[in-house]
Amino acid sequence: MSATDIDTESHIPPVPDDAVLVGERMTGGYGGADILHSCTIAVERGKIAVVVGPNGAGKSTAMKAVFGMLPLREGSVRLEGRDITGLTPQARVAEGMAFVPQNNNIFPSMTVRENLEMGAFLRRDGIAETMQQVYELFPILGEKREQPTGELSGGQRQQVAVGRALMTRPSVLMLDEPTAGVSPIVMDELFDRIIEVARTGISILMVEQNARQALAIADTGYVMVQGRNRFTDTGQALLADPEVRKSFLGG
């Protein structure tokens, strides 16, 4: 998928044939005003798709629309080829989606283990194997499994939030600003773990303010401006694009 493939008037990117999750031509907002304007984002199986853009571009709104937290006036959402536009967020979790919001994404008074167990609330099978996989992915969580999550560092709390989402055994993991407020070292570590999750076959859809670092790990990057698609290409191609670098990456 290339920036040159986008309709030059609408900037709507094509949808990959093997996309697992697609929010296509989404238009909607809160109340009477539309925030999204025929916006399209998609992620392929086991790949990382990143949505970047300036503040107020509608990045998080687009992700919430895909997860069913924002009613669409136009457009659709498909998961594994099925139209899920009318499903509630909880129903989408049951269908294989997991969403980690930027804020209020842990239970601080509960231990790490209890937080992970809460992530498996829809499961009706044994969860021990999945929990062990989370501990292997985030070793610090295994070490601190009986510690209240509110006592952890910001980066460790984010690991708990991601780990809890993985307890649902999703096919798609959606992350809204996962590195907000963490140090550059912690950000690099979180991105490394996100790459590892994708290597297990889970598709990652991520909204990020740290555009340069996020595009560096992205298979596909979407640059949004005022609720519309502006550029779409591979992460590396967007990083190399002079207009993208000048307008959105600080030169």
What pLDDT does residue 198 have? 96
Asked whether the predicted pLDDT for residue 9 surpasses 60, the reply is no
Average pLDDT over residues 200-223: 96
Q: What is the three-class DSSP state of 25?
A: strand
What is the DSSP track for 75-101?
A: EEEEETTEE-TT--HHHHHHHTEEEE-
* Residue whose C-alpha is closest to residue 227's, from 79, 41, 96, 34: 34
What pLDDT does residue 241 have? 96
Asked whether the predicted pLDDT for residue 6 surpasses 60, the reply is no
Asked whether the predicted pLDDT for residue 251 surpasses 70, the reply is no
Residues shown for the chain = 251
Q: What is the mean pLDDT of the chain?
A: 92
* Residue whose C-alpha is closest to residue 187's, from 175, 199, 198: 175
Asked whether the predicted pLDDT for residue 115 surpasses 50, the reply is yes
Confidence of residue 2 (pLDDT cuts 50, 70, 90): very low
pLDDT tens readout for residues 80-109: 999 999 999 999 999 999 999 988 899 999
Average pLDDT over residues 200-212: 96
Confidence of residue 30 (pLDDT cuts 50, 70, 90): confident
Chain-centroid distance of CA 170 in Å reads 12
- Which element (helix H / strand E) includes 185? helix 184-199
* 63 CB-side CA count, 13 A: 26
Cβ–Cβ < 8 Å for 58, 36: yes
Asked whether the predicted pLDDT for residue 113 surpasses 90, the reply is yes
pLDDT tens readout for residues 170-202: 999 999 999 988 889 999 999 999 999 999 999
| Burial group, residue 61, by CB count within 10 angstroms (0-12, 13-18, 19+) | buried
What pLDDT does residue 4 have? 39
Q: In angstroms, rounded to a whole number, what is the distance separating the alpha carbons of residues 175 and 26?
A: 19
Which tokens is 121 given? 């609330």
Cβ–Cβ < 8 Å for 43, 1: no
Residue type, 92: R
Q: In angstroms, rounded to a whole number, what is the distance separating the alpha carbons of residues 39 and 42?
A: 10
Q: In angstroms, rounded to a whole number, what is the distance separating the alpha carbons of residues 82 and 135?
A: 32
Give CA angle at 31 (30, 36), nearest 5°: 40
Confidence of residue 5 (pLDDT cuts 50, 70, 90): very low
How many C-beta neighbours within 10 Å does residue 231 have?
23
Average pLDDT over residues 25-32: 90
Domains in the chain and their CATH numbers?
Answer: 1-96+209-251 (3.40.50.300)
Confidence of residue 14 (pLDDT cuts 50, 70, 90): confident
Confidence of residue 17 (pLDDT cuts 50, 70, 90): confident
* Residue whose C-alpha is closest to residue 186's, from 157, 164, 144: 157
Confidence of residue 10 (pLDDT cuts 50, 70, 90): low
